[in-house]
Structure 1
């Protein structure tokens, strides 16, 4: 079982949902920018890696420093992806998982606070937007208030077009100035034969149905 940490991910909205533990592994720096559809084991590895939510502009974070109310506060993520906190000033939060941001804050605060304990909670999500295009009945962009899988968004698209290539769906994921391609074979996912998994999307993902 994955080790429990002090950090949690709360996907907030009106009638807030329960917090979800935010401790899945992040994407390995050695991951290829393009995943081969002929390598299902690699696809499964990537699907496991992309579970954690990445903070984006306009999100609202609860930063708590144990036994230090002067630093603990609720902060918005600015359009440049940064947050402002006492002592450490501006810190890049956009693009990081809550766990990664926690690690950054621990390192910075250690210069001023002995043995700091930090938690990061995403209180409000405003940057989680994904799109679906191609051979579906309803293309468009969706602003989400919580995590969603590829199948969730395909359901919002209200079904496939008559000539949709269900076995050749691709999820485009922004990574810096490039777009990583993650294959998604709808037929294998719904057949439940273990060949491929339905994975969680990240902000900015584009589902392409050929």
Structure 2
């Protein structure tokens, strides 16, 4: 609808400008004819041959008026279209920005820090400087190993990215002179938590360092309108069995029992009745 309105406005502007140009041309021609009639016959045609300077000035003024009229007539009517196009582009940028803010999903893979311990099913970006054939993105297999050219199977699970990079560097020295290796965890799939019940997006989520109950609930989009926010709890497996950790959202917001917002561990399940 906005595009159609802009198009109609631009068309109306073009029509009005054409009418104005026609009027200007008519007025210019009429003015020139009127001035021409006021001149004596010999002066009116004095510009053809040698003439006094006053006569040349009068005829020059007439030619200037005619040039202005013709220039006005030849000017393109592109301003409305440009303005309309600019407006459409601005609206598109605003729409994209708003869409990105409101519907962006929480990524399943999140880059880890240097102290993260690699686990099975994680995705690793292995980069060897000036060695494109050795640079690649690889998954950590269920047995905790990765496959790399020249080195075959390399144990990755249980090491930090820095430790794994050092191990790969030492192993490559047999084939590459002074290899420079970088390891980046591009997706954390081995350490997860789970959210069930009345949350906007229930499911499995990567466990980030220091993630608390409240942060996990936020990652899942918060509560639904049917959630019993005073009865949230965390199920955690321990050596002596499963424990249940209560989390009263309303109490926490009111500053009561802040310790209930515990730091989550691998495998924790948050349940929202």
The answer to which structure has the higher strand fraction is 1
Of structures 1 and 2, the one scoring higher in RCO (CA 8 A, sep 6+) is 1
Q: TM-score w.r.t. structure 1 length? A: 0.49
The structure whose Rg is larger is 2
- Give TM-score scaled by structure 2 length: 0.40
